[in-house]
Structure 1
Amino acid sequence: MDSRHAVEQNDTHAERKYGENSMTARPTRPWADWTHVLKVDPDRELVSDDTFDDLFGCGTDAILLGGTTGVTESKVERILEACAAAEVPVYQEPSNLDNVVDAPRVDGYLVPTVLNAGDPFWLVGAHKESMRRYPDHPWERTTTEAYIVLNPDATVATYTDADCDQTPADVAAYARTAEHLFGQEIVYLEYSGTLGDSAVLEAASDALEDATLFYGGGIGSYESARQMATLADVVVVGDLLHEEGVDAVERTVEGARDGQREND
């Protein structure tokens, strides 16, 4: 997530980006059928010899455009242009108010709300500002993700001043709060940069009834993807794409599929 200075830009840009020609609504809750999501950071390049066509054919259920820092509107648009012919659904996970792109190729928007943020701006402040600045945004295809940030060394933890000292019981309580009090359809355990604690993941999984549990962090192999997919509904793979490439991502797709079958 980017710092809050981004909200200080003027409103004319917002009026230009959103208007009467926004696309109509997509089907609701497609993530309930996902197992694997590939997060593409618009601020990072693919490894040499990889192409976006390779990426689209890796077997992932959806592509999520998002990154913590350095993401700009123009960088997002560049990726969307490359995604024009892709059959896999493409979602955007905005990191600040100035990199949201309303384009026909965007199937939807997954907006983080960081439940354990020490700075309330990342729980509701940025979201209030988005409502003020973008009243004509296609909210009908926008869903919030209940983020629980659990790696204190992650950049997102620093930006949001997240309290990462959470027990499995704490995380389960956050998950129930998201689903039952806030009505959120996605709970996202974010360990960005390290593989998470299975006990924490299991506690969150057991706490949820209908919400979809996303897991992200440290997925770098078939086995780590399989392990986390036995507990989470969806595993999110990001750094691996930019560090090792599409072939490595394909192995995590296989692992996630196998883990999900074990879970069933």
Structure 2
Amino acid sequence: MSGPWTQWDHVLKVDPDKELAGDDTFADVCTSGTDAIEIGGTTGMTEEKMERVVGACREYDVPLFQEPSNPGVVIEDPGLDGYLIPTVFNAGDPFWITGAHKEWARIDEVEWDRTHTEAYIVLNPDASVATYTEANCDLDTEEVAAYAAVAERLFGQEIVYLEYSGMLGDTETVAAATEALDDSTLFYGGGIRDYESAKAMGAVADVVVVGDLVHEEGVEAVEETVRGAKEA
């Protein structure tokens, strides 16, 4: 498992449907110290919004990946390093496990060599992504770890993504998921607001993903989470 994410500690997720905070620019975002930028969101996505963010970020020396919420917003841009495609393992609607992916392959020529999947396990029932995918979030620690093991061992997923989206997760659960993996990279996302939360989750996950913070509090706050993740 040799993807670039094996060298990452911190990923910044930028939602094209949201504005940056205050006077922040995409230059500030791209020079925040994050190891990579994911561009995507659950709702309100369009090709135009995606293109705006990619265009603003592609001139900077930071890995840039699109994380499309549906096949209709996938864009082709030489500034992208590739595509990270969620497949929601605990989705109640199978469309979000393989259906959306089938549609993409049907309607478009997929750049398979630049396309990678993320085995999502959604754990906040109040999050938009949980509603959108009808995810079963009522999982205990053993079940989450089992999903992680299945994602790696049976489905060959290089990235397992615990998505708490909007709330800070349980460190014991995150640690159990990490321990269930041999080679896959464990991404953690949700509720990272400061140095302390980033360091706490960075200690039990391979990669900390920060999202809403950049839109709500700005790049200076993000820089604190970069420091926390890297010092974990």
Shorter-normalised TM range:
over 0.9
**Structure 2 counterpart of 1:166:** 139
2:122 corresponds to which letter in structure 1? V
TM-score by length of 1: 0.86
Q: 2 CA distance for matches of 1:87 and 1:195?
A: 30
After superposition, what is the alpha-carbon deviation per residue over 1:155-207, rounded to whole angstroms, capped at 9, x for unaligned? 00001000001111101110011000000000000000000011110110110
- Is the 1:102–1:137 Cα contact (8 Å) retained in structure 2? no
Unpaired segments ≥5 residues, structure 2: none
Opposite residue 199 of structure 2, the aligned amino acid is: R
Mapped pair 1:111 → 2:85: yes
Residue 71 of structure 1 corresponds to 45
CA contact (8 A) 2:124 2:137 kept: yes
Residues of 2 paired with 1:106 and 1:54: CA distance?
Answer: 18
The equivalent of 1:33 in structure 2 is 7
Counterpart in 1 of 2:151? 178
1:1-264 pair list within 5 angstroms: 29-134=3-108, 136-259=109-232
Residue 226 of structure 1, CA deviation: 0.1
Identical aligned residues as a percent: 64
Please list the CA deviations of residues 87-121 of structure 1 after superposition, one character each: whole Å capped at 9, or x if unmatched. Answer: 00100000011110011011010000000000000
Describe the SS at the equivalent of 2:227.
helix
Does the CA contact (< 8 Å) of 1:150 and 1:165 recur in 2? yes
Report the Cα offset of residue 133 of structure 1.
Answer: 1.1
| Secondary structure of 2:231's aligned partner | helix
Counterparts of 2:22 and 2:188, CA distance in 1: 27
Shift, 1:137, TM fit: 2.0
Counterpart secondary structure, 1:98 = helix
2:164 partner letter = Y
Shift of 1:84: 2.7
Distance (Å, rounded) in 1 between the aligned partners of 2:50 and 2:42: 13
Shift, 1:233, TM fit: 0.4
Give the partner amino acid of 1:181: L
2:58–2:80: 8 Å Cα contact kept in structure 1?
no
After superposition, the CA RMSD in angstroms is: 0.7
TM-score by length of 2: 0.98
Contact 1:151 1:191 in 2 (8 A): yes
Cα shift at 1:129: 1.2
Residue type at the aligned position of 1:150: L
Separation (CA, whole Å) in 1 of partners of 2:74 and 2:40: 10
Of the two, which has the highest radius of gyration? Answer: 1
Is contact 2:152–2:181 with CA below 8 Å preserved after alignment?
A: yes
How far, CA to CA, are the matches of 1:175 and 1:47 in structure 2?
34
Q: Deviations over 1:66-86 (max 9, x none)?
A: 101001000010111111311
Question: Given that residues 44 and 242 in structure 1 are in contact (C-alpha distance below 8 angstroms), is that contact kept between their aligned partners in structure 2?
Answer: yes
Structure 1 residue runs without a partner (length 5+): 1-27, 260-264
Q: Distance in 2 between matches of 1:198 and 1:166?
A: 14
